[in-house]
Amino acid sequence: MFGYDYDRLRQDLHTFPTVFTAGHSAFGRPIYCISVGGGGGMLVHAAIHAREHITSPVVMAMAARYLEAYRAGGLPPCDFVPMVNPDGVELCLHGLRSAPLCARRRLACMAQGDFSLWKANGQGIDPNVNFDAYWGMGQSNVFRPSSQNYVGPYPHAAAETRCLVRLTRRRRYRLTLSYHCKGEVIYYGLGEGELADHSRAAAQYLGRYLGYEPRRSLGSAGGYKDWYALHYPQGIALTVEIGSDDLPHPFPYTGLAALTAQHRDVPLYMAQLLARTT
């Protein structure tokens, strides 16, 4: 299957001056973070769900654009993690040959021969329902290893989840954008309460720019945005679902140029909001 894979990511990282390993995947692949300015401002991350790998080149384009603008001065720091779940992306794009021999039989049973719609990591844990935020209470959660929606045996069991937790605790971001695909929706908040509800204004602000619908997050639990909202209620956390729901998973790369053009300047736009709220 054609798509933006881990090898392509590693090649493209050479164009950035500051890249570090934020953690390692379940299969030991480095999870890379592009740092523009040293942390403490914003975090943009993508491809925590494997089949949403089209979000990786979109975020890479954001990072290149932000670096260019940052050098001119006046912007807060911003970190970019363009591929949180490299094992899952490799499974989705290259199948069993991307996995260690010892894991292939178990993975083959879960995928039933087709990895193109795989969302989970290499262990069959969905990293974006594994965070300690009403863990196991989501409407679509499952409780055994699967290609999608398995919450894991306990919160932060997935290496990929722990990577984002450690990075956030260390860098203490004030605004986070979780890039997913698809639906053209911006999710904010956590459940029906007022927790981190000030993110609503940020969702409306970004929604006007993108033409996306801001929507309170209901029935969701255990995601990064949920965890950030719960543990850092003073900050802003949004999940951005790019691409039209009229198209299938995995999202066709014929739409990549349009998505990149639409989203390339989003961190610059959100930096303006961050400057006004500090």
* pLDDT tens, residue by residue, 27-56: 999 999 999 998 789 999 999 999 999 999
Domain that holds residue 85: 6-276
Nearest to 66 by CA among 43, 38, 36: 36
Does 4 score more than 70 pLDDT? yes
217 pLDDT band, cuts 50/70/90, is confident
Mean of per-residue pLDDT scores for the chain: 94
- The pLDDT of residue 231 is 93
Does 17 score more than 80 pLDDT? yes
- The pLDDT of residue 206 is 98
Over residues 264-275, the pLDDT tens digits come to: 999 999 999 998
Q: Which residues pair with 81 in a beta bridge?
A: 45
Nearest to 174 by CA among 128, 233, 134, 240: 233
Residue 258 sits in a domain whose CATH number is: 3.40.630.10
User: Rounded distance, CA 225 to CA 33, Å?
Assistant: 18
Average pLDDT for 166-186: 97
Other CB atoms within a 10 A radius of the CB of residue 217 amount to 24
Sequence length of the chain is 278
Positive or negative: CA dihedral 146, 152, 156, 157: negative
Q: Which strand ranges, in their side-by-side order, compose the sheet holding 185-188?
A: 19-24, 30-36, 78-81, 42-46, 175-180, 236-241, 185-188, 213-216
Number of domains present in the structure of the chain: 1
With 0-12 CB in 10 A as exposed, 13-18 as middle and 19+ as buried, what is 249?
middle
- The pLDDT of residue 276 is 83
Bridge-based pairing state of the strands 175-180 and 78-81: unpaired
- The pLDDT of residue 197 is 66
Other CB atoms within a 10 A radius of the CB of residue 231 amount to 16
Over residues 180-216, the pLDDT tens digits come to: 999 999 999 887 666 566 799 999 999 999 999 999 9
Does 64 score more than 90 pLDDT? yes
User: Rounded distance, CA 276 to CA 115, Å?
Assistant: 44
Does 22 score more than 70 pLDDT? yes
Cβ atoms of 83 and 41 within 8 Å: the answer is no
Assess if residue 1 is contained within a domain. no
Assess if residue 216 is contained within a domain. yes
Over residues 78-135, the pLDDT tens digits come to: 999 999 999 999 999 999 999 999 999 999 999 987 899 999 999 999 999 999 999 9
